[in-house]
Each structure stands twice: as C-alpha cells, then as structure tokens.
C-alpha cells in the first residue's frame, strides 16, 4: 500500500482528507529534466522502449511537482506496434503509420502478440518505477481505448475528423467489429501485464470518442470498453472518453471505478447523470495554466467546489500543454492541496 494512497481511496469511493491530484502528460516537456532525458535518448521511441529511461521520466513529476500519483511513461500506440503495425513519431507532427489496416485482407496480416514478450519493456519500466517510488504514491498504468487505436490504425495519422475510420464503421461494419475485437483482446492482455508488473490503477484513454455520435459509439465502442472493465478486476479502472458528453450514461453503466471528464463538462450536470457511485476525475481547462497565479488558484477552487470534497480526483480536462510554465503547474497542484472546501 502506498504511503500516500489518496488516489486509490478516492477511486474506490473511500473518504479522503483532501482531493488527490495528478496531471495527464505530467511526465513530459513541461520539465527540463524530461527534455534532458529525451535528448539523451535521441528519439521518442527509444525513450518509450528503454525501461530505465521510461522509469526515470515517470518518477520526475513525483519528485519535482509533488503529484499524488505517477503514470508510467509510454505511448498508446505500443499496442498496434505489438500487433505488427509499427508507427513513426514525426517530430512536431505526431504519430504516423506507414501502413494502415482497412480491410479483412489487411487485418489478416496482423499478428496476435505475446504481450509478455513484445511489450516486456513496459512491464520492466513499471517494475523499475515501483522500486523508485518506494511506496510513496500509486502508479497508474494505461492503454488507448480500442476505438482510438482503431482510428490510428485505419487513418494512418492524426485527424480532426477521422473520416476514414468512421467510414469503415458504415461501409464495412464486419471489418470494423473484427479489428475492434482484435484490439480489445490485445489491450486486455496488455493491461493485465501492467497490473501484474505493479500498476495500482489503470486508465483507458478514448481520445477520439467525440468524433462519433451516441448510437455509433454505443454499438462499436461501449462493448469493447465493457470487456476491458470486466476483465480488469484487480485494480480500479478509469475511463476517459474525451468529448463524449453524449455517452456519459453508457460510460456510467460500465464497471469502472472512475470517469475522466474533459473541461467542457460541468461537474454537477455530470453527477446528475452518473449518480453518486462513480468517482469523477478532472477537469480544469489546460489553458487556465497559462494565466497568472491568482487566476489559477481561483479557477482551481471553483472546480474543486463544483465537484465537492469526496469521490473526486483533481486533474486537467486533457493533457498539460508542453509549453505551460512549470511554476504554473505547481501552482495548480498546490492550490488543490491547500483548498478548503466550503461546508455543504
């Protein structure tokens, strides 16, 4: 059990002395110490696949920012990579797949990975990180949601609309279901590997949930998320489906412990839909952290009061932007820790 187990207790619905806080993308370019390791690695993939380096940058936010959890440094695209679809990280542009999967014939070329072997570098990074943490705070593992991984595997790169991915859902639904099923099976095995290596919680990122409508998300994405949540029972599961306000009731019906919210979702409205049995995570607009210290403190307090003192994990509504001043990030974290909730 971690010395600081606030995050675990909040996820499980147990009472906490204060709201725990961590940030998506907290191990990244906001820290000069991260940039130094990234330069030493030479390229992003080397950093991800070298356990000692991945563990080092995972620990940095705990040591330098005082967050209440570490999240293993990796990338959601290690899953398609293990399935035989390697990606390239173009500097300043994001991920790109030289080859895509858009048909049953192309799906047949994928492999069923042995995650214990193909993704052993992630498990080793988790073990090294747990040793480095020494029980100070919990460690979060993660994976991309099947729909988000499907988007990259079919589109081949980032997109505002992922029209090629969405096209598959309607033009060839049998293929779409088959690929989503393959991704889901691999993701479950991958998350189990992380839990076995020492992850205390896991988060599933559905970054492109918002490009779907409710009916389509319910048909293609929700069953995959349900399979994952039902399979991972040893630790709490968080589902973060960005821009998926339309799917809140469906997500609330999943056997997950926590629902992550983007910054457009009003906490009290969300609570009216999800009910009192889910922990909510989020959801300050990352751009608030560009403001001065007084505004950051004010907006953080407003967020915390809206969620209330229990069943809440403070975070941003998406990843912290890489050019955010690190002192402003610390101001956010300190504001959460110092907040005194007003009596109900």
- Cite the active site residues: 25, 29, 38, 75, 152
| Phi then psi dihedrals of residue 254, to 5 deg | -75, 155
Helix (H, G, I), strand (E, B) or coil at 141: strand
Beta strands (DSSP E) in the chain are 70-71, 88-90, 94-96, 139-144, 201-206, 237-241, 258-260, 279-284, 312-316
| Residue 302 CB coordination number (10 Å) | 11
User: Bridge-partner residues for 139, per DSSP?
Assistant: 70
Cis peptide before 283 (omega within 30 of 0): yes
- Could you tell me if 239 and 256 are in contact, meaning their C-beta atoms sit under 8 angstroms apart? yes
Give the contacts of 40 (CB within 8 A, at least 6 positions apart): 53
Angle of CA points 38, 198, 123, to nearest 5°: 50
User: Bridge-partner residues for 205, per DSSP?
Assistant: 144, 240
- Could you tell me if 263 and 283 are in contact, meaning their C-beta atoms sit under 8 angstroms apart? yes
Look at residues 132, 140, 143 and name the one whose alpha carbon lies nearest to residue 52: 132
> Which single residue is written with the structure tokens 């949930």?
209
């Amino acid at each position: 059990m971690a010395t600081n187990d606030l995050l675990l207790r909040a996820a499980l619905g147990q009472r906490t002395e204060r709201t725990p806080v961590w940030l998506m993308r907290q191990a990244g370019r906001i820290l000069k110490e991260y940039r130094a390791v990234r330069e030493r690695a030479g390229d992003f993939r080397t950093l991800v696949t070298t356990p000692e380096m991945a563990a080092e940058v995972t620990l940095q936010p705990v040591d330098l920012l005082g967050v209440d959890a570490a999240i293993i440094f990796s990338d959601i695209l290690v899953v398609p990579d293990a399935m035989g679809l390697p990606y390239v990280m173009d500097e300043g542009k994001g991920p790109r797949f030289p080859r895509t999967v858009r048909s049953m014939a192309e799906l047949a070329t994928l492999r069923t990975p042995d995650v214990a072997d193909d993704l052993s570098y992630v498990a080793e990074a988790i073990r090294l990180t747990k040793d480095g943490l020494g029980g100070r705070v919990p460690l979060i593992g993660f994976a991309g949601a099947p729909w988000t991984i499907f988007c990259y595997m079919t589109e081949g790169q980032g997109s505002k609309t992922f029209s090629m991915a969405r096209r598959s859902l309607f033009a060839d639904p049998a293929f779409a279901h088959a690929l989503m099923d393959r991704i889901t099976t691999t993701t479950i095995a991958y998350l189990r590997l992380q839990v076995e290596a020492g992850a205390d919680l896991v988060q599933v990122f559905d970054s492109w949930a918002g490009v779907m409508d409710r009916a389509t998300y319910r048909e293609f994405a929700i069953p995959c998320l349900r399979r994952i949540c039902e399979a991972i029972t040893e630790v709490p599961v968080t589902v973060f489906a960005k821009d998926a306000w339309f799917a809140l009731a469906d997500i609330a019906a999943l056997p997950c412990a926590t629902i992550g919210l983007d910054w457009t979702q009003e906490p009290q409205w969300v609570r009216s839909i999800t009910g009192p049995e889910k922990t909510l995570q989020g959801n300050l607009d990352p751009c608030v952290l560009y403001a001065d210290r007084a505004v950051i403190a004010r907006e953080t307090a407003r967020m915390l009061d809206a969620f209330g003192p229990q069943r809440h994990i403070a975070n941003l509504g998406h990843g912290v932007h890489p050019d955010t001043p690190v002192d402003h990030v610390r101001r956010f974290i300190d504001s959460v820790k110092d907040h005194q909730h007003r009596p109900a």
